[in-house]
Amino acid sequence: MLKAPRTLTFKCANCGKSVQVFLQKVSACSHIQPYQGICKCGEVKRHATGQKDAVQSYLESPDGSWSHHH
């Protein structure tokens, strides 16, 4: 199985600059690989790959306090 990259780079939706997101710690589970970072302008950027419902719940969590449960 391929390992998820530790960082990804996106364009900030707020200011258009590059923002780097970092792989977040989760349980040893292949359902989701969540990423989060903060742009220099202060905008929080979240991204995730994996199981569709887990990704959606992560991206919709308002404050980043999301956690994945089996």
Across all residues in the chain, what is the average pLDDT? 86
Distance CA(59)–CA(47), nearest Å, equals 7
Instruction: Write out pLDDT tens, residues 21-42.
Output: 999 887 667 788 999 999 999 9
**Cβ density class 30-69: b for 16+ within 10 Å, e for less:** eebbbbbbebeeeeebbbbebeeebbeebeeeeeeebebe
> Model-level pTM greater than 0.95?
no
- Quick one: what percent of the chain has pLDDT higher than 70? 87
